Amino acid sequence: MLSTITLFTALTLITSLLTTTATATTIPTSTQTTNPQPPPLSYAILLFRAFDLLDVNGPLSPLQLLAHSYPLTLSLLARTLDPVTTRPASPSMNPHNASFWPSLTPTHTFATAPENLDVLIVPGGLGSRSPDLEPEIAYLRAAFPKVRYLITICTGAGVAARAGVLDGRRATTNKRAWGEITAMGPGVRWVAPARWVVDGHIWSSSGVTAGLDLIYAFIKEMYPDGHELAATIAGGSEYEPHNSTYDPFSSLFNVPTQNQL
């Protein structure tokens, strides 16, 4: 077995490599982004009862690895500081009375959330259809004009649509839940097929795992060394990100082609 000192030396080296990658980009390359804005540093994620664990943690895992190269902050926002459970609110949504529902504990309420966030992420999940999302929708509507980027994952686009912030914008959502979610935003220019869609400062992904592909594309676009960092993080995570046109699920779920990419 390796000594613990050796282990930590190896780990430090890996971190150093990531850090070095983050700072060794003064020479422009063909893959370098031309985004002139400062890179996003302050992230928040909007939590509500019965959010999907992967909608939230799929993007957060690569961002945590990015946080080895940038001083990122993450706020977990909810209506109160009580833990937010993934247990569905209605017993009919849990017909076998399963007990498989971890919680996340918020860092801020909507009332105490940081102002002027760089990125606000809205996940989906069974809870995104709840009629009891008024505090979440009110926060989203109020915060939207002040955030630099809004990211929706999966049926989180339904929450954003209910807040009205997607009206007139191009967006996508989960293809199995397509009819249900798009009905929440008749003024939205819903796009299919698409793995994810960018319209100005609004990024929206298709279902659940599409959030991983969106966040890799976001990292590439937003950070000066984003292409290199995304490749490093994806390699260590053993993930090959899809591009925005990958979408076998639109045809699987008979979603009609509209507002094409």
> How many residues form the binding site for a second copy (CB under 8 A)?
76
Alpha carbon 205 to chain centroid, angstroms: 8
- Of residues 21, 33, 57, 259, which one binds a second copy by CB under 8 A? 57
- Pick the closer one to a second copy by CB: 38 or 235: 235
Alpha carbon 232 to chain centroid, angstroms: 19
Least Å distance, CB 186 to a second copy, is 8
Q: Which of residues 221-240 bind a second copy (CB under 8 A)?
A: 235-240
Give me the helix-helix angle, 226-236 and 53-66, nearest 10°.
120
Q: Which of residues 165-194 bind a second copy (CB under 8 A)?
A: 174-177, 180, 183-184, 186
Q: Which of residues 92-111 bind a second copy (CB under 8 A)?
A: 92-105
Least Å distance, CB 33 to a second copy, is 20
Q: Which of residues 22-51 bind a second copy (CB under 8 A)?
A: 43
Q: How far apart are alpha carbons 50 and 9 in whole angstroms?
A: 41
3 state SS of 254: coil
Q: Which of residues 112-171 bind a second copy (CB under 8 A)?
A: 126, 129, 131, 154, 162
DSSP 149-193: EEEE-TTHHHHHHHTTTTTTSEE---STTHHHHHTT-TTSEE-BS
What's the sign of the alpha-carbon dihedral 181, 187, 188, 192? positive
Q: Is 259 in the site for a second copy (CB under 8 A)?
A: no
- Of residues 207, 219, 229, 255, which one binds a second copy by CB under 8 A? 207
